[in-house]
Structure 1
């Protein structure tokens, strides 16, 4: 065996050390060069044939993703406006995913936000809003697995039967997420034709029964193939609560704030949630105002509208190009025109599914069945229906509580029972709310 002198050993160790340092320098330079360049996630455009083994045909400059948030309150028509986006073949839509955050963090299914009355409730509100924002950021990036933290029982192998209102999302009820959905009669259909056929025939409950457990991994893959993601929520009170998301450079967030006449909201809540509004129902049926009437939900809703719309209409710089206020009454009265305005604000072309859905779902004689989230109805008549459901005394109370909000949003006061019932008088003024572009 050849011996090694101390000098030779010292030289070899120096050589090794120099090689290690040189390697680290190369890696550091490479990493710095990598992160210095703009980084984008390449989304696979639908029906392009782009996939494994076809990298050469993948467009490295994909269409910009639009992240859409419908900001609303309970019984304001948010299910209706959500469907106007859900029908689009290139929009991945989720209905109220924040429901799971609320029920998990506060272990209850409270439907309405009450004003904080103590420091503890204020802390809880901040915690809840922080969790909401974190989950929205993940979902807009199609990281649907982040929902699993809040779904109970916890999904098994990324599959769940418990996603709230899964049936309200066309993408989650159509191939390939729901392979069990049968093709429409008339021969073989391609994927897009199957999706359209399923959407035209689907009922929410039937979707859940037919499709079985939701595979969140597959759903996330479908989400990533769509160019736009839309989410509807009634759980964030004000646009100001979303500022960190609006200013997040990772998102291209556009917020549609939906408002409705508080008198119409109250009438709808009484009919939809009879247990929670028992005292209001007694007042309406008997004509006598109960001593234990709770109007806090109404004052909270009007306060949220006033503050949120006030922020949006003041047009702060951070909302430029990101905010649009929509009155439910305007949408119900002229659905085609208002839908075009919404899509123009979003910068998304309207596809054929949307006007077809509008035609089929705004000209009906009444609500489809008894489902509280039904959207098949005469939309204009529905918007005015509250005028025959509330007594004048009830309307007068709402007007006293929500006076500033009604004025801000362009809703006229009624001053007599006769004026209340006279539907020839339009209570939503011809007020134009232009998007902040």
Structure 2
């Protein structure tokens, strides 16, 4: 079966739980708006731009420890949003299967259409209550058996105009059938980080995916998929480097906001209203509180972002540095970064990470800088 036809294989998605959806709509109105995950900020000026607009966003991170949790939490600050945290883990941890295009896309389709299989709901109950499905329903839930129910999840999800899904085990080129699906208003954000930083972070924590021989060919595959996807689906695919994002989070977030709103990245005015494009207040507040100080454990999203970008250079050991540079040199060069070659060079902050000719790497990859 051609992979591009996968979305046609879904069961009828028009069966809804109208009563539950109505109940949650009333609950949302009583609480003054919906809630995303990660400690959602109060909605404010600029947030109304997305409150009534349907938006579905898929964040594809080439590998873990690349800022995708932070990205997902930022995006889910929008009013009436639901945040799905790595739902492909259902395939990996519950079904005990390797994550592939064939078994992961139906899961993503189900999330986008608020369709929850019984065994998926059962799996959710075995997870941390506020984990995979993140919204005000789980944030304010005191008893898992009350909140993690098929009808409640469906009803709650159907009231949300913004759906954010972040994944770390899918390949970017797999999303083509989703982008081709006319029933979805999907936008894809591809997030990538210097593999010396992300893989070293995985290795220090004993997490899977740390082997550069396995991970870097996949990362390179994602990088090379970007130009073709952007050409085939104009305005639907945004590629951003961790290093750009966390060096200047507000400017990069503004580019993300323009992308979600459908504005040209160089435009200063909203095409619909003619007003200057500004970040919504909830995004500004989130960035102010989450990028200035380190707080909590390693999985927390409170970080001093500028220090975090270069911190790995002081922490990585030489054997691992040289191994990653050996197997990931094409990725490193594609990002516009330099090869250090020794732990002394890596730890020397007078040696820049970026190549002189590529001080600021474009947010969007194009055919002209295709690796």
Q: Find the counterpart in structure 1 of residue 148 from structure 2.
A: 214
Give the SS at the match of 1:377.
strand
User: Does 2:348 correspond to 1:434?
Assistant: no
Structure 1 residue 149: deviation in Å? 2.7
Task: Tell me if the contact between 1:247 and 1:318 (Cα under 8 Å) persists in the aligned partners.
Answer: no
**Partners of 2:132 and 2:299 in 1: how far apart?**
9
Give the SS at the match of 1:273.
coil
Structure 1 residue 222: deviation in Å? 2.7
Q: Find the counterpart in structure 2 of residue 240 from structure 1.
A: 173
User: Does 2:252 correspond to 1:338?
Assistant: yes
1:67 to 49, 53, 56: 56
Q: Find the counterpart in structure 2 of residue 4 from structure 1.
A: none
More deviation, 321-330/299-308: 299-308
TM-score using structure 1 length: 0.62
**Partners of 1:87 and 1:211 in 2: how far apart?**
26
Give the SS at the match of 1:93.
strand
Q: Find the counterpart in structure 2 of residue 80 from structure 1.
A: 70
Gapped regions of structure 2 (runs ≥ 5): 1-13, 30-50, 263-277, 367-371
Structure 1 residue 259: deviation in Å? 0.4
Q: Find the counterpart in structure 2 of residue 133 from structure 1.
A: 105
**Partners of 1:326 and 1:316 in 2: how far apart?**
13
Higher Cα Rg, which structure: 1
1:226 to 139, 143, 160: 160
User: Does 2:183 correspond to 1:253?
Assistant: no
Deviation by residue 1:38-88 (Cα, 9 ceiling, x = unmatched):
x9x9999979x99xxxxxxxxxxx955221100012111111111111222
User: Does 2:117 correspond to 1:162?
Assistant: no
Structure 1 residue 251: deviation in Å? 0.7
User: Does 2:217 correspond to 1:303?
Assistant: yes
Deviation by residue 1:336-356 (Cα, 9 ceiling, x = unmatched):
111111111111784322211
Structure 1 residue 319: deviation in Å? 2.9
1:363 to 270, 292, 317: 292
Which runs of structure 1 show a deviation greater than 6 angstroms over 4 or more consecutive aligned residues? 41-47, 207-212
Q: Find the counterpart in structure 1 of residue 303 from structure 2.
A: 377
**Partners of 1:409 and 1:165 in 2: how far apart?**
37
Task: Tell me if the contact between 1:243 and 1:318 (Cα under 8 Å) persists in the aligned partners.
Answer: no
Task: Tell me if the contact between 1:360 and 1:376 (Cα under 8 Å) persists in the aligned partners.
Answer: yes
How many pairs does the alignment contain?
Answer: 307
**Partners of 1:360 and 1:419 in 2: how far apart?**
33
Task: Tell me if the contact between 1:89 and 1:351 (Cα under 8 Å) persists in the aligned partners.
Answer: no
Give the SS at the match of 2:165.
strand
Q: Find the counterpart in structure 2 of residue 421 from structure 1.
A: 347
**Partners of 1:422 and 1:411 in 2: how far apart?**
15
1:92 to 57, 82, 86: 82
Q: 1:431 to 1:320 in 2, by over 3 A?
A: same
Q: 1:219 to 1:354 in 2, by over 3 A?
A: farther
Q: Find the counterpart in structure 2 of residue 268 from structure 1.
A: 201
Task: Tell me if the contact between 1:86 and 1:170 (Cα under 8 Å) persists in the aligned partners.
Answer: no
More deviation, 216-225/317-326: 216-225
Give the SS at the match of 2:303.
coil
Give the SS at the match of 1:332.
helix
TM-score using structure 2 length: 0.72
Structure 1 residue 213: deviation in Å? 4.2
Q: 1:332 to 1:241 in 2, by over 3 A?
A: same
Question: Root-mean-square deviation (CA), in Å?
Answer: 3.4
Give the SS at the match of 1:249.
coil
Structure 1 residue 98: deviation in Å? 1.5
**Partners of 1:74 and 1:320 in 2: how far apart?**
27
Task: Tell me if the contact between 1:98 and 1:233 (Cα under 8 Å) persists in the aligned partners.
Answer: yes
